Amino acid sequence: MIRKDVNSWPPPRFLRRLHRKILELRNRLARELEITDQAGVYRFRCETVREFNRCLKLYSKEPGTIEWIESEMKPGQVFFDIGANIGVYTIFAARRVSPGGKVYAFEPHAANFTRLIDNVIRNTLQQVVVPCSIALDSKEGFSRFTYDSAGAGTSHSQFSADYTADTDAGGGEIAELKYATTIDHLLASGRIAASHHVKIDVDGNEHLILRGMARLLAFSVAPLTVQVELNEPYSAENTELLKGRGYALVTKHYTRSAARRMQQTGEEPNEGCNAVFRRAV
């Protein structure tokens, strides 16, 4: 602790040096996790236990997502990772669309986005991955982004489109005023390229993001596959929206924790289910 005294500020040189050494040591102690498979090496910086666990469970947390990326992503293709968090699946997919491909990684959570950038740099994928810190929604505009937790590697933060200056912030650790846009607007303005594959995992607002990419789904160059997390009460709406755009439900898969709950209860869980849709030829 440095206590400010009007008669002794700035702190003595030895105290400043001590704190610098402590911060340098903390930086060196940060864990870099390196994972290798047949596609190459993945490097992730981990400063928290949450980050470390998220990276360590690359293959086990959502094995269906890994299988989907491995089987569908091809060199030269474009992938939208919507809800990229710290970039675990972003990096994994980027290895598969290289060379010549692009990954647009959307993550509005500030700490997660900072680590996402860090991980992209560590994997020298700056020419492949385009980090996007904006939120996505069904329309454009500013609203409240509520942090369930401000730390890196966390999830369940949420963009609330119904926010006004008179709205009670309520819940969460802190709320940020953030700008949101739509996939269709980004495409129409030429800011992003049309995608071959889309992953949407934002813990509840998937239906709004799908509404905001209605034009993309109707294009002649619409995505070949879309993986979307099915959260109640919008699971049926998301399924019907995609079916109405010519997509067929190919498979459902579950996170490891959701699969465990389903085994225990015998009932399909309300969250933790990802559905893969394929565009009809």
Q: What is the mean pLDDT of each run of 10 residues along the chain (281 residues)?
A: 59 76 68 88 91 92 96 97 97 96 97 97 97 96 92 89 62 89 96 96 93 92 95 91 95 88 78 91 71
What pLDDT is stored for residue 265 in this prediction?
Answer: 82
What does the pLDDT read at residue 166? 59
Domain ranges within the chain, ordered by starting residue = 57-279
Look up residue 29 and give its two tokens: 């102690």
Does CATH number 3.40.50.150 belong to domain 57-279?
Answer: yes
pLDDT at 195: 96
Over the stretch 159-189, which tens digit does the pLDDT of each residue have? 986 766 556 656 788 989 999 999 999 999 9
Q: pTM of the predicted model, to two decimals?
A: 0.88
